[in-house]
Amino acid sequence: MNDAAHLPVSSLAVPVTTAHDPISPVPSPGFWRLTLGSLGVVYGDIGTSPLYAVRESVLAASGHGGGISEAAVFGVLSLITWALLIVVTAKYVLLLLRADNNGEGGTLALMALAARGWRSGASTVVLLGIVSAALFYGDAVITPALSVLSAVEGLKIVTPAFDPYVVPTTIAILVALFLVQSRGTAKVAALFGPITLVWFVAMAIGGISHVLQDPSILRALSPHYGLEFLATHRLIGFVALGAVFLAVTGCEALYADLGHFGRRPIQLAWLVVALPALLLNYYGQGALLIADAKSIENPFFLLYPDWAQLPMIALATAATVIASQAVITGAYSLTRQAVQLGLLPRLEIRHTSAALAGQIYMPRVNALLLIGVLVLVILFRSSSALASAYGIAVTGTMVVTSLLAFFVIWKVWQWKPLAAACLIGPFLVIDLSFLTANLLKVFEGGWIPLLLGALVILTMYTWRRGSRILMEKTRRQETQIDALVAMLEKHPPPRVPGTAVFLTGDPTSAPTALMHSLKHYKILHRQNAILTVETAHTPRVSTDERVRIEPIGETFCRIVVRFGFMETPNVSQALALARKYGWHFDIMSTSFFLSRRTLRPAENSTMPRWQALLFSMLARSASDATDYFQIPTGRVVEVGTQVKI
């Protein structure tokens, strides 16, 4: 384990700045490309909700055994409509997209923004961020399984003979999807927008044809149908509310992908394309159910005539693969942010595009997601069974997002606490209502995302706590670097040509590698640098702020290299910038000294033994520091030490 591997989030101080989309009176061609691209990446998940949302909601509203009543259909459509308008449109599209962290969005970006705005409550904010990130992984496992299963199940509409092949076909599609991740998604992603646009248009066409046959279905636009249904049906209405939430799953992607597309393209794509198409399709399914209650078997595909069902199944499968891809890449991005923020150990990151820094592949994350997805498909075997497990992870994430948004509005936007509470309060009440309704599904499969989330929370908490304890213990045992340099330059050991760079997580203490080098080699290089890699609370760090150099002696200097939490550290490139500040070195005569620690549980450890063992295991699983920090492998010297924790 390397000294510079992780730094506590609370130790970083960064000025508060907020980026906003430039306002141009005439949208450029690039703006329209971003708008089209956002349809595929941002709205791929929420765009596949019509495959199962109405069916599950109406079944829940009918008690899963009673007849399909008109009141149930109108109540469900009204609740779906206002969930889309309040939760997605008002909360995410109009409000949260403005709470950007230097142009970036997402749970951890919001956490970092809130933490630097509320220093005294940083621990609470970080805990909320950990919970939200953990629940996202549950979503990332369930979304591909549910989406692809629901699309492939359309084959049963064509002929029941396909029923035995639904699960094997789903598994084959999912395995293929995860296997191609290592090749990069840049070329495939270029097709996401156009395919998803076709998908939304097809959904709108399928819905509007049935709405025109029964325009009275549009009365469900009135909120009183939803409120009346909840008031008169009580427990059944509350259960139905949990199923209605399926219509807004995927809205977290609105915020998470802010940095990729910008606020205005995401807003335009939702208001002009996604929202109208979704509402038309939902109302078309409602009209179909009132006309023919037997269509509850699969109201989405039965919207279309027989000749169009196979093409729609193919298009739905493509749309669900796109939705799954968006969640998978989101898991990669979230994991990289978590590693940079010190919530997880170093994990291997492979860049799959020379032009796009966000195109990454993480082998371990990919493998774990694939295993989880396949287990869910094999265990549940149908989208209806799996839908029960879906809502808890997403609703939990949305509740935490609302809480973090409150802190940002209060501390960063400088609103009065009461004003911030009045703005966020209604959204939080709705989110909590959805969460409570979904908690009724705990024993029907809802325990799965809770279990996954608990495991991730435990892992992140253990890594963060262990890293802090290790840093404090190391700091107590190490010598102050200023005092050591003064002693070495007063009584210098023999010097050898070249430059030595010692990596450390604490720039004020002498690195372990330096102390062991002096102990065993009894020499020093002519030029020495104490290098620390810091992670900022901002997504990216400008070139001017990348490197800071401070002399601490005639032959020693302290170098601090800073990267944003969405950047992949590259020490070699950062040191090349140091030449601008007068620090000259020849890479071919430079040696990088790293400490590789082997951890052992101590008898008097401040952590429980099981947690100390878990932290040790996580430390051993961390990727090699040389590769992670992109240091030339031929110039690295590793010094091993044992530490009890």
State the Cα–Cα distance between residues 118 and 617, nearest whole angstrom: 33
Residue range 232-244, pLDDT digits in tens: 988 888 888 988 9
Handedness of CA 591, 592, 593, 596 (dihedral sign): negative
pLDDT score of 185: 59
pLDDT score of 103: 77
Q: Which two tokens stand for residue 471?
A: 């840093």
State the helix-helix crossing angle for 306-340 and 166-179, rounded to 10 degrees.
40
* Contact (Cβ atoms closer than 8 angstroms) between residue 395 and residue 245: yes
Give residue 250's region: left, alpha or beta (phi > 0; psi -120 to 50): left
State the Cα–Cα distance between residues 252 and 242, nearest whole angstrom: 17
Taken in order of first residue, the domains within the chain and their CATH numbers are 44-464 (1.20.1740.10), 478-644 (no CATH)
Give 245's strand partners: none
* Contact (Cβ atoms closer than 8 angstroms) between residue 645 and residue 616: yes
- Residue 115, Cβ neighbours under 10 Å: how many? 27
pLDDT score of 274: 95
pLDDT score of 188: 58
Structure pTM?
0.79
pLDDT score of 641: 75
State the Cα–Cα distance between residues 558 and 506, nearest whole angstrom: 11
pLDDT score of 23: 39
- Residue 472, Cβ neighbours under 10 Å: how many? 13
State the Cα–Cα distance between residues 220 and 515, nearest whole angstrom: 74
The parts of the chain modelled with pLDDT lower than 70 are: 1-29, 64-66, 184-190, 352-359
State the Cα–Cα distance between residues 627 and 611, nearest whole angstrom: 27
State the Cα–Cα distance between residues 643 and 482, nearest whole angstrom: 24
pLDDT score of 3: 41
State the Cα–Cα distance between residues 141 and 192, nearest whole angstrom: 21
Rg of the chain over Cα atoms, rounded to whole angstroms, equals 27
Residue range 605-626, pLDDT digits in tens: 788 888 888 998 998 888 888 8
